[in-house]
Structure 1
């Protein structure tokens, strides 16, 4: 079954494909931008899924199998910064970057953080969200082996020594917040017995 993933970020598509590689789902990227509300991740994902579905169905035909559209919104929440950047993660990544986050933290030893992903799903009838999180901490410096994207080079998941960007894509996708969200989504879709 084909799932239309509305995102301009091919890294997210590739990670979703890795996560669902042994399933009956084929992820297809759909490059339709959507406005991101300034709300919580669930609100952004719900709005995005409905907006993209409505826009896409104006010119194209979505199959009647109920697969619909998925969008995904993620954020990095740093406890000692009052969960900043949170829902502003994309904007902060483009403006401050990882260097800016490390400067804000300075020598602070309380570096607990978590990533959260919310998948929004809409098939013309049902509008649902599926969340996934992973706890960890922020490193003291940027650490990468050339993998990952966005905040991956400063986030160390709990019970690990490497940042996401030091892990192979398969390692990261096995424990990531995105995986947890996609597993919740997959469990729901499986329960519908779509073909």
Structure 2
């Protein structure tokens, strides 16, 4: 089965491929948006991670006919009442400027004491095929550090220290992160649906 991950992010593609391999799911070839003919992608305008993920997966399935997975993820900071949330990728104004987004977040939390710097990475993942639509959610609790550390990962990884760890998400190996992360948790919740679709 060819499975479309509605993303151009090579790190996300690698993550899904590693998870399928680790779970022994065979017969699924993961492709990304760069591997299919271009189609109009709707902007992420839904107020929830779940709404955005489902809209992206529906768009991808309707345009290509391929069973499609899409995710929407971000960081929800307790001291900011759950923001940046769905605005995480464009928190500083432009879309996908990881450095500017991280610097703005650290600036907003500069005077917040360590015990109030909690938050969570959140991921909603949607799967759309001819037979079903399903949306799942994964969360990864931790705290926001005072300065970036580590060169792995992307987004807010360098300033997120998971609960029970001294290292930031960006200091973990890809395999460690897959086992713990919000996206890994959400994608693993989709596996029964992917397995059933591959066997249909």
Q: TM-score when scaled to structure 1?
A: 0.87
Is 2:52 the partner of 1:44?
Answer: yes
* Deviation of the 1:18 alpha carbon: 1.7
On the 8 A contact 1:5/1:29 being kept in 2, the answer is yes
CA distance in 2, matches of 1:166, 1:139: 13
Q: Which moved more, 1:77-86 or 1:163-172?
A: 163-172
Q: Which moved more, 1:39-48 or 1:27-36?
A: 27-36
Q: 1:136 aligns with which of 128, 131, 142?
A: 142
Q: 2:101 aligns with which of 89, 97, 103?
A: 97
On the 8 A contact 2:4/2:60 being kept in 1, the answer is no
Q: 1:165 aligns with which of 163, 170, 176?
A: 170
Q: 2:190 aligns with which of 172, 181, 185?
A: 185
On the 8 A contact 1:34/1:52 being kept in 2, the answer is no
On the 8 A contact 1:72/1:120 being kept in 2, the answer is yes
Taking the TM superposition and a 5 Å limit, the aligned residue runs for 1:1-195 are 1-22=1-22, 23-24=25-26, 25-31=28-34, 33-57=41-65, 62=66, 68-92=67-91, 94=97, 96-109=100-113, 110-144=116-150, 146-191=151-196, 194=199
Residue 49 to residue 193, structure 1, CA distance change in 2 (3 Å):
closer
* Deviation of the 1:193 alpha carbon: 6.5
CA distance in 2, matches of 1:14, 1:190: 19
Residue 90 to residue 156, structure 1, CA distance change in 2 (3 Å):
same
* Deviation of the 1:41 alpha carbon: 0.7
On the 8 A contact 2:124/2:135 being kept in 1, the answer is yes
For this pair of structures, how many residues does the alignment match? 185
1:135-161, Cα deviation, whole Å (9 max, x unpaired):
1110111111x2110100001111111
On the 8 A contact 1:137/1:155 being kept in 2, the answer is yes
1:11-44, Cα deviation, whole Å (9 max, x unpaired):
1111111222232233221235442123101111
CA distance in 1, matches of 2:20, 2:131: 24
**CA root-mean-square deviation:** 1.8
